[in-house]
Amino acid sequence: MACGTVKSQVSYLKRLPLYQKEKPFQLFIPIDKEALDQRTTNLDFETKERTFVDVRDTAYSCSLDVDGFQLQSYPTKLDLPSFLDRSIVESQYFSEVEEILKNIEGGYDKLFIFDWRIRSSATPRMGNEFDMNDLTTWLRPSPTVHVGWAMLITSPKRHGEPVTGKSPSGQVEFPTAICVCLLLIDYSVWRPLEHVVEDYPLAFCDPESISADDLVECDHVRRKFKGATLYAHFNDTHKWSYIGNHRPDEVLLMKMFDSDTSVKARRLAHASFRHPAITEHSKPRKSIEVRALVFNFPGTGTFKCA
């Protein structure tokens, strides 16, 4: 597939007056027939053409704190069928992810993997009612500009109680001791599967080109989980890049949240786009994304707690 700078389209949440009085939401559950409001969502998106710069030649010099992403060479030991087996992913691939995150600058004192998903551009489009609890379901790449699922942390009501976090794949319990550190990072660890990405490469919005006013929180309600995603409103200042010919032996680290306010890149808005050079012979994109929270204790590693 020819790479380089290309033009394509991504989807943004419209700047509607509605969102000034009603929070964006999306329901992935059936609506009671007696309910007065039968809406499953109030989201309204618009498509915008953007320029995407291929940063393949400089990707390995990009950093998480400045660019919001980092590319590493780290082949996986698993084959494609293994990624369809939840027990193998969570026992073997999670260990690889832990090792990858351990080797980045600063490392971690404590790590919690709280979600993972596989995607394929060959997956048929689905409505709102599908089983998100089945982590081996192939989801489609998302063309919507967003910052991934938020891990919702709940503080203990009484001293000594555990701190809990709710994620799309279940509830996580954190030892109270780790929460003396106010600095944490939410990482996404993204990898192509089976072959080089030809269709729907992942693109990133330069963190310095997008403001907090461009992002809005959206509630996602499923049968067993209520969480939040940040969607982006369009702004012509947004600058986009992607990695051409992204290989399965390369793992991409992205920062979804960083509580350290001193760094340039605290979160990375991203989306997938249809590459204009694809043909009928292009292979569908397959990928896996793992989400992890990283904690550092006071006075250890690169990070210091205030």
The answer on pLDDT for 47 being more than 90 is: yes
CA–CA gap between residue 274 and residue 278 (Å, rounded)? 8
Share above pLDDT 90 across residues of the chain, in percent, rounded to a whole number:
67
Least confident of 77-81, 179-183, 192-196: 179-183
What totals of helices (H) and strands (E) does the chain contain, helices first?
Answer: 4, 18
The answer on pLDDT for 93 being more than 70 is: yes
CA–CA gap between residue 177 and residue 97 (Å, rounded)? 24
Q: Which residue has the higher pLDDT, 38 or 161?
A: 38
Least confident of 85-94, 122-131, 161-170, 286-295: 161-170
Q: Is 77 left (phi over 0), alpha (psi -120 to 50) or beta?
A: alpha
Q: Which residue has the higher pLDDT, 34 or 141?
A: 141
Q: pLDDT band for position 285 (50/70/90)?
A: very high
Q: For residue 17, which amino acid is it?
A: P
Q: What angle do CA 60, 122, 30 make, to 5 degrees?
A: 110
User: Tell me: the pLDDT tens digits for 145-177?
Assistant: 999 866 544 433 443 444 445 444 444 555 444
DSSP state of 189: E
Residue 306 has a pLDDT of 36
The answer on pLDDT for 248 being more than 60 is: yes
Residue 181 has a pLDDT of 46
- Are 56 and 244 in contact by the 8 Å Cβ rule? The answer is yes
Q: pLDDT band for position 305 (50/70/90)?
A: very low
CA–CA gap between residue 168 and residue 177 (Å, rounded)? 24
Q: Which residue has the higher pLDDT, 158 or 52?
A: 52
The answer on pLDDT for 129 being more than 60 is: no
CATH code of 45-295, in short, is 2.60.120
User: Tell me: the pLDDT tens digits for 206-215?
Assistant: 999 999 999 9
Q: Which residue has the higher pLDDT, 109 or 48?
A: 48
Q: Give the strands of the sheet with 163-167, arranged side by side.
A: 152-154, 163-167, 170-174
Residue 16 has a pLDDT of 97
CA–CA gap between residue 301 and residue 108 (Å, rounded)? 7
DSSP state of 29: S
CA–CA gap between residue 38 and residue 211 (Å, rounded)? 33
The two structure tokens encoding residue 182: 């106010």
Scanning the structure block, which residue is given the tokens 């007696």? 34
